[in-house]
Amino acid sequence: MEDQKQTSFTFEIDNFSEKEALIQPPNFSSGGCEWFVEVYPKGDGVDDHLSVYLCVANRGSLLLGWKRRARYSLVLLNQSGKELWRTPEVSRLFCAEVPAWGRINAVPLKKFQDKGFLEKDKLIVKAEVKVIEVVDEGDVTGNEMLDFQGFQVPYSQVISLSRLFAEHRDIAVNFRLKNQLVKTTYLNILFGLIETLKKPPHSLSETDLSNAKSELMELTEAGFKLDWLKTKLDDVSLEWKKSNFDGSRVRELEEHIKNLKAELNNEKVKSAAEVSSLENMVSDLKAELDMEKVKSATSDAKVLWLEQKVLDLKTELKSCVLLD
């Protein structure tokens, strides 16, 4: 392509210490493309560093396969023009899938509080850009892989991976595997594990947590430094246990209590029926007893009458004997 000139774009941020939201100045042109700079005064995904990026404008309208390789650097200056921070001049591929490059951990926020670091609370941001390669839309299929610090990844994962490496700079210092297919497999496992641990703990199953522990162990053994992810897994596991006890366990206990109450009521019904049966039996026995008493009383009276009759006959017989 025709040699492109380097373009420099500068803008000022007044009252920087008061800024919190994203700052995005107007677009500028370089190499036939529209660009802009994004500044996050309180960090983008981090809370202790300023974040700054160079971005392709109108990213939503970029076609699949649109690519520009550009050499760029980002610079921060104070009001006097003193350079406070600068990225090395690097070459990066900008495309529809990865439309921005920069630094998530640019400058520690506490640095801005140092006396004399900023003048009159003004920060100047400068972007230097030179497009060095243009790839036409028809030259790509959209399935290309991009090399990122030794890992072959699809464009869709580059931003996530760059953030991951920015937040955890030593994550792969001990990762020594060379086979690209194996490296990509491990990286996919890592991304999957991170996504799993982003889910609400109550939505995970015991199997999910068991698999997560196995994957974390496998990744650690492969050389990834994942102390921060282990802490996250421990926290999620604890929350899951609390959720499981406070939710399903409570429901389980409530259901058990409900069943016990139903069983108790059934026993009460059975007991009432048995008591009623016993009461009827007692009543029948009492009635039978009363009848027997009546019978017994009648029998006793008859015996007494017969005894009296015998006695009377004996008396009468004795009288007859005396008369003779």
What is this structure's pTM? 0.52
What is the tens place of the pLDDT at every residue in 264-321? 777 777 777 776 776 777 677 677 667 766 766 665 666 567 667 667 676 767 666 5
pLDDT of residue 138: 47
* Average confidence (pLDDT) over 122-151: 76
What pLDDT is recorded for position 324? 56
Task: List the structure tokens of 83.
Answer: 């350079």
- For residue 143, the model assigns a pLDDT of 58
Radius of gyration (C-alpha) of the chain in whole angstroms: 47
Name 184's Cβ contacts closer than 8 Å, sequence gap at least 6.
Answer: 151, 152, 153
Mean pLDDT in residue range 191-197: 92
- CA pair distance 127, 26, nearest whole angstrom: 13
Could you tell me which residues come within 8 angstroms of residue 59 by beta carbon, excluding any fewer than 6 positions away? 96, 99, 100
**Is 152 buried (19+), middle (13-18) or exposed (0-12) by CB count in 10 A?**
middle
Which pLDDT score, from 0 to 100, does residue 61 have? 73
Whether the pLDDT of residue 108 is over 70: the answer is yes
CA distances from 208 to 61, 205, 214 (A): 39, 5, 10
- The residue among 273 and 3 whose pLDDT is bigger is 273
**140 has pLDDT over 60:** no
Output 10 or 289, whichever has higher pLDDT: 10
Give the confidence band of 125 by pLDDT, cuts at 50, 70, 90: very high
Q: Give, rounded to a whole angstrom, the gap between the first and last alpha carbons of the chain.
A: 176
The pLDDT value given to residue 269: 76
Q: Lowest-pLDDT range, 71-85, 93-107, 257-271?
A: 257-271
pLDDT of residue 310: 65
Query: Which is more confidently placed, 20 or 248?
Result: 20
pLDDT band at 20 (very low <50, low <70, confident <90, very high): very high
Cα 293 to Cα 295: distance, rounded to the nearest angstrom:
5
The confidence score (pLDDT) of residue 150 equals 78
User: What is the percentage of the chain residues whose pLDDT exceeds 70?
Assistant: 81
pLDDT digit string, tens, across residues 197-254: 999 998 999 899 999 999 999 999 889 999 999 999 999 999 988 877 655 555 666 6
Query: Domains plus CATH for the chain?
Result: 1-143 (2.60.210.10)
Model confidence at 19, pLDDT cuts 50, 70, 90, reads very high
What is the rounded average pLDDT for all residues in the chain? 82
